[in-house]
Every structure is written in C-alpha cells, then in structure tokens.
Amino acid sequence: MDVSRRVLFKGSAAVVLAGALSRVGLAADDPLPSWNEGPAKSALLDFVHATTDPQSAKFVPQPERVATFDQDGTLWVEHPLYTQVVYCLQRVPAVVKARPELAEVEPFRTVLSGDPAAIAKLPADELAKVLAAALSGMSIDRFEAEVQAWLENARDPRWKRPYTQLTYAPMIEVLNFMRSRGFRTYIVTGGGQDFVRVYADKTYGIPPEQIVGTAGGTRYGYDGSGRPFLTKDPKLLLNDDNAGKPEGIHLMIGRRPYAAFGNSVGDRQMLEYTTAVAGERLGMLVLHDDGEREYAYGPAGGLPDTKVGTFPPSLFAEAKSQRWVVISMKNDWKRILL
C-alpha cells in the first residue's frame, strides 16, 4: 500500500508537473501574451503564419514583408492631445524668447497666457502657426537636441510618466513578433517625421529610415566655419495623413504593405491601399473603448465623440465590409500600457 501510494503520488505529481510545464511552455511560446484569446489575436497569428511559413500557399518572400503602423492612438496614447502638439505648445516660451516680437502676436499670445480653454479654442490654422514655429527654422541637430531634452523632462499629467512610456504593451508585442518573423515594421504617422525619429528607435525598435511622417523640406547651407548643415524649412513636402499615408508609403518605401494598423479615420486610406489587392493582407484598427484603463472615444459604437483620433461609424462600416479587424482595447488587451 505504502509503496503503491507512493508510486501513485509520484505519478500524479509527474502529471501535475508536466501540465504546469506545458502551460509555462505555451506561455513562453506565445508571442502575444498581453492579448486575450479572441478573433483579433487569432487574425494576427493566422496572418503571420500564412505569410511566413514556407509551406503556406500565401507565403511572402522576406524582402516584401512590410507592415505599417500609425503611431498616435495605435502604438501610444494620443489623448487628450497628440504628444507633438503638447511639445509645440510647451516650446512657445522658448520660441518667443528667441523671437520676442511674437509675444504680442496671435496665436502666441494666447498660448503664453496659459489659459487652457482659450488654447483649446484656437482654430486649426492658428495652431499650425505654433507648430511651424516649434518645428522649423532651426538646424536638424538642434531640433533633435530640443526634442530629446523635452522628452526626458515632460510628464503626462494622468500617468506622471514620460510620454515615451505611454506605449501599448500589446502593440509592442506585435512589432517584436512581426520583426521576429522577417517583417520590416514602419511607422506611418501624421506626426512629424523628424519628431518621431528622435525616439522611435529606443521606444519601438524602429530606425529613422523606417519612419514615414509628415515632412517639411530642409535647406542645405554652411555655418561660419564652412561646415555644411541642414535647416528645417516650413515648406510642407508630405502631409502624411488620410490619402497622404499611401502617398507617403509609395514615396518612402515603394512597396505596398502586407499589413497596416491604425485607429482613426486618418488611417482609412492606408488600410484600403494595403488590403485592396489579392493575397493575404491584414488591416487592423484599434478601438479606444476602455475609459477606465485608457480612454473611450469614437464616436463609433456609442463612444463619446472626439477630434483627436476620430473613429466614425462610417469607418466601422468600412472595416466590416473590407474585413478589417477591429481591436477592442477593453476586450482584446489583458493590459494596456507597457
């Protein structure tokens, strides 16, 4: 009896242990541990499997594996204001210090007043003047140093963290997973190309040459000692939003992506362009429906309306008809911030 019980016990222990190991094994093998099981996670895993398994009929050769990701609201938090807009507003005192004549000129006077209600009411073309002043007129090197210094000190008011720590853990997993399977991951953002390049390599593992963003021209010139440098020009070359996204993808990559990820109406054309051809293609849209853990806005699905990251019912309808996968932050993501 004793002996048999001991044998039985050992056997049970072995079974329990094997089960535990197998679960640990599964977790360790799961490239998307922050995702709940469900249609969004399955669509991702199925797509990557179909395009990268050499036995698959839908196999895509490695050099053609391009995946594009919107940034604001897709890879990191965009509410209540795009981080780059926060940067530009906070740069205004320095801009006015360098050009004191702007202190009494709108919209700079309003921004300097610090009155949030008045600032929020600035029309888009006035805000554009603030952006132009903060994002052009200096050398590339100086601009990068200014953004870098700001990122180190600025904190998001809700999470009290640097903005570069407000990235979505589930999306960082997608970036890493796709890269591990031979995809080149690109950011395709309405934000400034030079702005995003400052932190994207450290924050997302995405190098400067894989950032497609709204881009102004530069001017080549020489400093006092004859050394050449580039100055950021206010002239707009590429407005990388809406139809500008596929146009920017063609300009900068010259290949149609196999997968595209967005979260708002500005990403519609990018997803259309990506999925409008034969073969395995993936379009995904992040829906911000978790007001508790992040923010809830749409206005699709009865969520509150927003100007920052609009997801209208028409986009919801197109997602359905085009078989783009809508990711519910509330239901599909186990955790949100990294």
Nearer residue to a copy of itself within complex by CB, 157 or 228: 228
Under the rule (CB under 8 A), what is the footprint of a copy of itself? 63, 140, 193-194, 197, 207-209, 211, 215, 217-220, 227-228, 230, 237-238, 243, 246-247, 250-255, 269, 272-273, 276
- Coil, helix or strand for 68? strand
Nearer residue to a copy of itself within complex by CB, 96 or 238: 238
Q: CA-CA distance, 58 to 52, in Å (whole number)?
A: 8
CB of 250 to a copy of itself, least distance (A): 5
- Coil, helix or strand for 255? coil
Q: What single DSSP character describes residue 171?
A: H
Phi-psi sector, 254: left (phi>0), alpha (psi -120 to 50), beta:
left
Q: CA-CA distance, 194 to 212, in Å (whole number)?
A: 9
Nearer residue to a copy of itself within complex by CB, 168 or 195: 195
CB of 154 to a copy of itself, least distance (A): 23
Q: Where would I find the beta strands (DSSP E) of 54-192?
A: 66-69, 184-192
CB of 197 to a copy of itself, least distance (A): 5
Radius of gyration of the chain, Cα coordinates, nearest whole angstrom = 24
CB-based burial, 39-48: b 16+ in 10 Å, e otherwise: ebbebbeebb
CB of 317 to a copy of itself, least distance (A): 14
Q: CA-CA distance, 280 to 268, in Å (whole number)?
A: 18
Nearer residue to a copy of itself within complex by CB, 282 or 329: 282
DSSP-derived pairing of the beta strands 211-222 and 228-238: antiparallel
Nearer residue to a copy of itself within complex by CB, 133 or 200: 200
Q: CA-CA distance, 238 to 22, in Å (whole number)?
A: 51
CB of 283 to a copy of itself, least distance (A): 13
CB of 226 to a copy of itself, least distance (A): 9
Nearer residue to a copy of itself within complex by CB, 155 or 255: 255
